[in-house]
Amino acid sequence: MFAVIYRFKVKEGSQEVFEKSWRDLTKLIFEYEGSLGSRLHQASGLDYIAYAQWPDEETWKNSGGKMPPEANEVRKKMRESTLEIETLYAMQVKDDLLKKVS
């Protein structure tokens, strides 16, 4: 398994737009690109951290080409609601002790 950690610096007053567009885009990536899903965390104020899982690094690297046309508008909304989007880490999962929730 492969994991990626992203940091988002959101524009003041754009939190709701960001959170909705992040959620919508994440659902599309899950459905069309083969991700294993993601979690969004609000670190503090306008800083958010997302943790995404992928089956492997190749699936992550090759993602983006299978998205439906509506993904472009969702991406645009997310970009417009942020000051900065940064990939902090892209790494192999070595052990997984997260509780499985049914």
pLDDT digits (tens, 9 = 90+) for 58-102: 999 999 999 999 999 999 999 999 999 999 999 999 998 988 777
Domains and CATH numbers, the chain: 2-92 (3.30.70.100)
**Bridge partners, 34 (sequence order):** none
- 10 in Cβ contact with 48 (< 8 Å): yes
Q: Where are the alpha helices (DSSP H) in 4-55?
A: 15-33
Backbone φ, ψ for residue 26 (5° rounding): -60, -40
25: pLDDT strictly greater than 90: yes
Strands 47-54 and 82-92 turn out to be unpaired
Give the pLDDT of residue 99: 82
